[in-house]
């Protein structure tokens, strides 16, 4: 482990994380739209084929039908939601690291980094759960053609009217199950790869851009490898009609495995992995760049 010359500043993490989040949305949103459409496409009637044969087919059909704009459908919500969410996520990670340090130059072990990452997952879920629910509902209405919500705010209002704050926070337990272990993996694998790619005797801050992109991209893949099964359950649960799954995610899990087997827990795998690399590479690069800028701007903060 190399030494950390700059003390950890959760506040700087907050701003740099927000910038990383914006980079992530721009790089990853088109594939996110495809992921949700693949995960929630209706089961074909006997004799009919699936609406989308796979990732590429969904991409082509969306482009043909709705143009490039179709791929960026519903992006306003993630930009508004993701910026504070990544800010909070990186803040949580910074705080988790700081809380475990006895002195500012303490080097943390990998399990400690994993724990710090898990804390960031708890932080983000509070913001994330309602945003995800709204995003899934808006993304599927575009592909089912039935327009129930005019936009994100209208969706919040209707959900609140129908079932109060619980309607907005439906699927929180699943979001926690997805984000807490996955965030631990995310940050731990990123720090591990950064250490691996840093030449002996050099500091982390001197990592080349390709190295940061590579470490960020692989961290994104590690994050999703852990997160996909709960994510599929969550997409299903959050877009299901009221009362379809009285016992929550256990019902969703039973139904999925009964109807479509264990492999269905990895639905949308290609779209997720295709998106995970560039989106998270962009995110960590944005984060590191913003961090350098902030350290230059306010070295003592």
Q: What span, in angstroms and rounded, lies between the C-alpha atoms of 229 and 24? A: 22
Q: Looking at the whole model, is its pTM more than 0.85?
A: no
**DSSP one-letter code for 81:** H
Please classify residue 13 by burial: count the beta carbons closer than 10 Å to its beta carbon, then call 0-12 exposed, 13-18 middle and 19+ buried.
buried
Taking the domains of the chain in order of start, what are their residue ranges? 10-41+51-197+208-295
Q: Indicate the class that CATH gives domain 10-41+51-197+208-295.
A: mainly alpha
Helix 76-100 / helix 172-197 crossing angle, nearest 10 deg: 60
What is the per-residue pLDDT for 5?
57
Chunked mean pLDDT (size 10), the chain, 301 residues: 67 95 90 83 82 88 88 82 88 95 90 95 83 81 80 89 85 85 96 92 85 96 92 81 81 89 83 88 96 90 78
CB atoms within 10 A of CB 214: 19
Six-digit token string for 101? 């340090």
Q: Provide φ and ψ at 10, rounded to 5°.
A: -55, -30
Task: Please name which of 223, 217, 225 lies closest in space to residue 284, comparing C-alpha atoms.
Answer: 217
What is the per-residue pLDDT for 46?
85
Place of tokens 């089961």: 43
């Amino acid at each position: 482990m190399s030494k950390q010359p700059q003390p950890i500043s959760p506040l700087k993490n907050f701003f740099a994380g927000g910038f990383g989040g914006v980079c992530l949305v721009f790089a990853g949103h088109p594939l996110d739209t495809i992921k949700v459409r693949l995960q929630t496409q209706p089961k074909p009637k006997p004799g009919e084929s699936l609406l989308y044969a796979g990732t590429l087919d969904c991409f082509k059909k969306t482009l043909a039908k709705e143009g490039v704009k179709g791929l960026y459908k519903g992006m306003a919500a993630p930009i508004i939601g993701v910026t504070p969410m990544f800010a909070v996520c990186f803040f949580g990670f910074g705080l988790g690291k700081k809380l475990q340090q006895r002195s500012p130059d303490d080097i943390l072990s990998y399990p400690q980094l994993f724990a710090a990452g898990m804390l960031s997952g708890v932080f983000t879920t509070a913001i994330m759960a309602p945003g995800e629910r709204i995003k899934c509902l808006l993304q599927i209405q575009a592909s089912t053609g039935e327009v129930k919500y005019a936009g994100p705010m209208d969706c919040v209002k209707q959900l609140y009217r129908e079932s109060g704050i619980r309607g907005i926070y439906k699927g929180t337990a699943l979001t926690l199950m997805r984000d807490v272990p996955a965030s631990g993996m995310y940050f731990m694998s990123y720090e591990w790869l950064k250490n691996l790619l840093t030449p002996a005797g050099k500091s982390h801050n001197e990592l080349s851009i390709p190295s940061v992109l590579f470490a960020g991209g692989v961290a994104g893949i590690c994050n999703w490898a852990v997160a996909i099964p709960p994510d599929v359950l969550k997409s299903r649960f959050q877009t299901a009609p009221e009362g379809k799954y009285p016992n929550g995610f256990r019902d969703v899990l039973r139904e999925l495995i009964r109807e479509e087997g264990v492999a269905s827990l990895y639905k949308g795998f290609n779209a997720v992995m295709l998106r995970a690399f560039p989106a998270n590479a962009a995110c960590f690069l944005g984060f590191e760049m913003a961090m350098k800028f902030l350290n230059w701007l306010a070295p003592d903060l």
